[in-house]
Structure 1
């Protein structure tokens, strides 16, 4: 009997220990569940990573950006490319030169409401840019990373550069935008092939000497520039490059006169008029023959660093070698480009303002 009582006591004590252990385990579960926010934080981090992606700019720098880019700031010609691929509604910062472009404003009026970040060239309103905190900047800014901003470095000194930039910008926004970028690249390649097929067999003697004036008569672009690229494709020789000017620079008046270009292309009619009336330039062949042409200007100036360089490829060929491109209708080509890439039908007046700017 006594043995039975001892056994019962032992069973009770054992049960107590088991219950205590179970309670302790229950407490452990509660404590563990109290740490769930940390676990969720890790999950959120993993989810956040799923909401980001990497993109490599044209300098080979790899950036982490949101999976869905919702805001972009762009300088200069970058705005035209963003607009062309279909990302303009995500522009939160732009350049004053773009907001002053009548055709850009006419086709996309909202551009005047976007914050002006790039005032002139690389003069940047960093204070406002930091406030905007765009997902991506297309601006080639030296100091952007110091402010914790993603700034894609781009180059646009050749057709390959332009196409790569367009694809990069298209990739920022999504699949449809990337398809539009690819469509543009195919179009540009078609223009390049069309032109070079007719100019590739020209001898050096048959090539035309061309000078392109920039913001003023002697500012120009030379070796390694997009200007040299489209001149050479069109069967010409860039006299600024021949004189040793590198990329964007200045040619001396003496060198310009000595190079004696057959054709001069200017950005506006004011520069053209100055060339025609200034006695210092009267011995230049292009001035004597009146072969001074004002470069077309649409949503951006055709000849410099925007995707409208695809049209410049055609126009310059017709200006430099009209005998090879009698069948090329620039009215038709310009209408087609604006309809295809901007979904905009040009009026006769608008077409004239693009091809014959003042």
Structure 2
């Protein structure tokens, strides 16, 4: 029998089970948004995830911290970036977290089945920190306490970086190119990437390359990057960093000549993307670009403390090395 034929019964069962609201610790959560899975884990609700993302299931540290994720179903999303509401209901989902850009069809049906759909904006630092707080508000006081501690830590790092970079002239800001997904995909302004580059004192060479594109990202010509001649390159993946450093067409770029091509740190997720680990991204980049101004900042210790305090994970020295210098 098709699942669609079972929907009325599923809805009736779900509605009946929700007559008495479950304690927050028992809430069933689904999210196809990989970085949102990390935020859920940070807030103490990783064990409540009943539908996840294939990307999240593949990240070693995420899998280590949440071993049961191997058996959690992947929320299916079609080529049109559209969810399957029947699957969401079948998982017994009570809260579904999605980016606002994702299509969630048949929301009336989901509401009847007791599914609360929370859609959040993305692609800026402000949207990220707001999402952490709003996620916690949906989960309960224990998550709110953690979110408040996280916001204090985030604000502390912002203040530290701003103080250390105070007085840095615009013409002395280090030029940077950031590749994501492949060596020639990058982002401009406005974007989350632009926000953390601004905060860390970097001058994004691609800042104005996507003025006509709504999402301010896309593929660019290699000649455009070579002409911009960034002093530093940060690649999301090691394979891209290796390609940039070994391909002859990139050989004359300052970042390659002076061995300043870095792989972006990656823990529960890539620090540079929509994860709460973003609190470390701009601190890491500021220290990487201006080491003399951040001589007393030990990124290994910051990393160790962050994962212990916010994820209750004790990282080994080897794991810290893998987070800060991803092997793949």
TM-score calculated relative to the size of structure 1:
0.78
Where does residue 90 of structure 2 map in the other structure? 131
Where does residue 73 of structure 2 map in the other structure? 115
Change in Cα spacing, 1:147 to 1:278, as seen in structure 2 (3 Å) is farther
Change in Cα spacing, 1:356 to 1:119, as seen in structure 2 (3 Å) is farther
Q: Distance in 2 between matches of 1:232 and 1:292?
A: 19
Change in Cα spacing, 1:108 to 1:221, as seen in structure 2 (3 Å) is same
Total equivalences in the alignment:
299
Note the aligned Cα RMSD (angstroms). 2.4
Q: Distance in 1 between matches of 2:253 and 2:208?
A: 16
Return the structure number with greater relative CO, CA threshold 8 A, min gap 6: 2
Q: Which runs of 5+ in 2 are unaligned?
A: 1-15
Q: Distance in 2 between matches of 1:292 and 1:120?
A: 36
Where does residue 283 of structure 1 map in the other structure? 252
Map 1:24-39 onto structure 2 (within 5 A).
Answer: none
Q: After the TM superposition, which parts of structure 1 deviate over 6 Å for at least 4 consecutive aligned residues?
A: none
CA displacement at 1:124 relative to structure 2: 4.4
Q: Deviations over 1:189-238 (max 9, x none)?
A: 10011001111321111101111101101112221211111111111111
Paired residue secondary structure (1:290): coil
Q: Radius of gyration: which is bigger?
A: 1
Match of 1:160 among 102, 126, 132: 126
1:238 aligns with 2:199: no
Match of 2:34 among 76, 97, 100: 76
Q: Distance in 2 between matches of 1:342 and 1:351?
A: 14
1:261 aligns with 2:230: yes
CA displacement at 1:125 relative to structure 2: 5.0
TM-score calculated relative to the size of structure 2:
0.85
Change in Cα spacing, 1:118 to 1:351, as seen in structure 2 (3 Å) is farther
Q: Which runs of 5+ in 1 are unaligned?
A: 1-44, 53-65
1:333 aligns with 2:302: yes
Paired residue secondary structure (1:184): helix
Change in Cα spacing, 1:174 to 1:345, as seen in structure 2 (3 Å) is same
Q: Deviations over 1:157-206 (max 9, x none)?
A: 23221111111111121101111011101100100110011113211111
Where does residue 36 of structure 1 map in the other structure? none
